[in-house]
Amino acid sequence: MTASTPAAGGRDQVPQEAGYEPDPQRWRALWVTLVAGFMSLLDVTIVAVALPTIQRDLRASAAEVQWVVSGYALTFALALVTAGRLGDALDRRRIFLLALSGFVVFSAACGAAPDITLLVVARLAQGLAAGFMAPQNSALIQQLFRGAERGRAFGFFGATVGISSAVGPLTGGAILALASGAQGWRWIFYVNVPIGIVAVLLGRRLLPHVTRSGHPRGRVDAPGILLLGLGVLALMFPLVQAESGGIGRLWWLFPAGAVLLAVFTRRQHRLVARGGQPLLDPRLFTTVRGYAVGTGVGTLYFIGFSGVWLVFALFYQHGLGYSPLRSGLAVTPFALGSASAAVIAGRLVERFGRTLTVCGLVSVIAGLGGTALLLRYVPLDTAPWAAAPLLFLGGTGSGFVVSPNITMTLRDVPVRMAGAAGGALQTGQRLGAALGTATLPGLFYVTLGRTSDYRGALGTALSAALVAMAASLALASFDWRRDRHLRRPCRKCPDEVANSPVHSRQT
């Protein structure tokens, strides 16, 4: 059985994969990777609600304490593609376990940090460990599962991504409520330690050792790592500095980053032409069905998806005076809808494909758009209850976006490229998330400064999120229509298409 069946001919075709034998412990191994992935993604947002407490306790400035969040996101994104390629070339299991162990150690260091400088340094290291761990998750799913089982596994993975992003503020608020006092914020980091230790021990027992089927160990493109790292850094650094005027002050880094990424892309094409081993194989975007579109859909969606949580937190905590815990509870219906739908979507993706993503995006847009209108006019004391059904609708739609899109983006990727492919997909999501978390709160504050109207500020920010989601819907709809067009001839001339990659994927 092959993970990908490229069209015949041409040196740019992605090589076929070797045979597949199911691992009897694959489902147990999956849960180990999901727990680790949940921790790493949760730490993107869980700390946000504790920033005021951290700032007071460590006597830090607003710019310093912002690096506790933005520094983690920055190093997380920088590591993804390189870590994925190293996993493909060397040993996914070993890199995953080393990264998970580092994540545990640096989480403890964050909790014990005596001042803001050491806390920021520990968070940078923690984000780097998370970035090395994340692409191994999706790559191990590629390695362990095939067919309908892979769809189910990615369904659980998509649920993990959606839940961790949505429940971060709620979890952080709950921990702060339970761990009272000025030092309570430290438990946001300490909670990772016992969970991570158990995951490391189980991972050593359950995760499979790599069998390379005669393939030699790959080489790693060091100049490519440098070019890609500098390019991603140039694009993300102004975004993570947005609250201190980074976008206006450092705008020149955006074109510089684009140039670096263009040089990186050219280098990858030249390596392929010479028969070398690129860091990120450009054939993933040109010959692997659904990868380029899926990466674009995910990037655009995460611009809106990631930014709305900060906007809701600002509205409920600053506008309505809610505590962090109560603010998190107000958006819990979205998380519940996302979790339940993602698992179901994993079972349906083989049958319905891109249709799930299109329907999911329509539901998210309807749910969040309706929430924005509702919160504009209903009495504020009943706002969370009134918005709950619409948030649940939006969350259900989100579950049908994230999980199926991950599955359709990665399922035809050859296993030997799975780490780099997963890293690139998640890099797009992290870039989208950084843009969303920089732009949407900025629009919220700008509108609030002009009108002093929290309802209007919320509506403006959510409208911008809906624009990004509408762009994601347009791209997904294009792919959905193309799929229907490509499938139609199969009923008329099966002999001509029975062996084509599109036919085999869709049937």
Query: Smallest Cα–Cα separation from 257: which of 457, 77, 463?
Result: 77
Instruction: Please give the Cα distance from 393 to 333 (Å, whole number).
Output: 9
Mean pLDDT, residues 124-138: 90
Instruction: Please give the Cα distance from 21 to 18 (Å, whole number).
Output: 10
Would you say 81 and 280 are in contact if contact means Cβ atoms under 8 Å apart? yes
Report angle CA 135, 133, 163 to the nearest 5 degrees: 80
Q: What residue spans define the domains of the chain?
A: 26-209+279-506
Over residues 324-348, the pLDDT tens digits come to: 778 778 888 888 888 788 778 877 8
Provide the pLDDT for residue 438: 75
Give residue 5's pLDDT band: very low, low, confident or very high (50, 70, 90): very low
Instruction: Please give the Cα distance from 380 to 320 (Å, whole number).
Output: 8
Would you say 369 and 393 are in contact if contact means Cβ atoms under 8 Å apart? no
State the DSSP code for 288.
S
Burial class for 281, CB neighbours closer than 10 Å (0-12, 13-18, 19+): buried
Provide the pLDDT for residue 171: 81
Would you say 37 and 133 are in contact if contact means Cβ atoms under 8 Å apart? yes
**Beta carbons within 8 Å of 127's beta carbon, 6+ residues apart:** 71, 72, 73, 74, 75, 76, 79
**Beta carbons within 8 Å of 341's beta carbon, 6+ residues apart:** 360, 395, 396, 397, 398, 399, 400, 403
Provide the pLDDT for residue 1: 37
**Beta carbons within 8 Å of 9's beta carbon, 6+ residues apart:** none
Segment among 170-184, 281-295, 467-481 with least mean pLDDT: 170-184
Q: Which two tokens stand for residue 205?
A: 């027992």
If one counts every other C-beta atom within 10 angstroms of the C-beta of residue 479, the result is: 21
Give residue 486's pLDDT band: very low, low, confident or very high (50, 70, 90): low
Owner of token pair 């509408």: 470
- Helix/strand/coil (H/E/C) assignment for every residue in 73-126: HHHHHHHHHHHHHHHHHCCHHHHHHHHHHHHHHHHHHHHHCCCHHHHHHHHHHH
Global pTM value: 0.78
Give residue 478's pLDDT band: very low, low, confident or very high (50, 70, 90): confident
Report angle CA 394, 171, 123 to the nearest 5 degrees: 110
Q: Is the pLDDT reported for residue 503 higher than 80?
A: no
Fold of the domain spanning 26-209+279-506: Growth Hormone; Chain: A; (1.20.1250)
Instruction: Please give the Cα distance from 285 to 273 (Å, whole number).
Output: 16
Instruction: Please give the Cα distance from 349 to 268 (Å, whole number).
Output: 32
Report the half-sphere exposure of 333 (CA within 13 A, side-chain side).
16
Report angle CA 301, 305, 307 to the nearest 5 degrees: 120
State the DSSP code for 278.
-
Segment among 87-91, 119-123, 402-406, 495-499 with least mean pLDDT: 495-499
Supply φ then ψ for residue 50, to 5 degrees. -95, -5
State the DSSP code for 242.
G
Over residues 198-211, the pLDDT tens digits come to: 999 999 998 887 65
Instruction: Please give the Cα distance from 490 to 49 (Å, whole number).
Output: 53
Over residues 49-101, the pLDDT tens digits come to: 787 788 888 888 877 887 888 788 888 888 888 888 888 777 888 999 999 99
Would you say 49 and 328 are in contact if contact means Cβ atoms under 8 Å apart? yes
Give residue 19's pLDDT band: very low, low, confident or very high (50, 70, 90): low
- Helix/strand/coil (H/E/C) assignment for every residue in 432-489: HHHHHHHHHHHHHHHHHHHHCCHHHHHHHHHHHHHHHHHHHHHHHHHHHHHHHHHHHH
Q: What is the residue type of 368?
A: L
Report angle CA 437, 440, 445 to the nearest 5 degrees: 115
Q: Which two tokens stand for residue 154?
A: 């990615």
Residue spans of alpha helices (H) in 332-453 = 332-352, 354-377, 383-410, 418-451
Provide the pLDDT for residue 499: 41
Q: Which residue has the higher pLDDT, 495 or 63?
A: 63
